[in-house]
Amino acid sequence: MPNILIVEDNDVTAKFLESLLVQKGYQVKTLGDGTNISNEVKRFLPQLILMDIVLPNADGADVVEELQREEEFKDIPVIFLSAIIEQDDHKKNVISIHKRDYPALSKMVTTTELLETIKKSLRSRY
């Protein structure tokens, strides 16, 4: 199963996401912020990143922009998660970085919809 990197500063949310994805057979690594993400991505080699938008020392979009600058990481799919996105609006939300659109979901998204978005993002890469 694919490796998924979770970048989430809320411990409860991070543990929930990790538990859900491990139950579904994914290999998971969790980071509490975007510091040194390039090194972590090199070590873990994720096929997808779940990225909180609001992090303690960085903006999630800035972290993804940093990753896009590196040729080996620029095609890794990212799904943004945030408490600041309205649940009813999550189907319309995307974050565009360098002409690439990434899904942006509310943290209140259903597990079914989150898992479907993950599968769709993984299929679009491979």
Distance between CA 35 and CA 25 in Å, rounded? Answer: 27
* Cα distance between residue 67 and residue 115, in whole Å: 23
The residue among 63 and 98 whose pLDDT is bigger is 63
Q: What is the pTM of this model?
A: 0.89
- Residue 73 to residue 90: CA distance in whole angstroms: 25
Instruction: Round the average pLDDT of the chain to a whole number and report it.
Output: 88
pLDDT of 90 > 50? The answer is no
Summarize pLDDT for 67-86 with one digit per residue, the tens: 888 888 988 999 999 887 66
Cα-Cα-Cα-Cα torsion 22, 39, 58, 115, nearest 10 degrees, comes to -20
User: Domains in the chain, ordered, with CATH?
Assistant: 3-125 (3.40.50.2300)
Q: How far apart are CA 15 and CA 22, in angstroms?
A: 10
CB atoms inside a 10 Å sphere around CB 46? 23
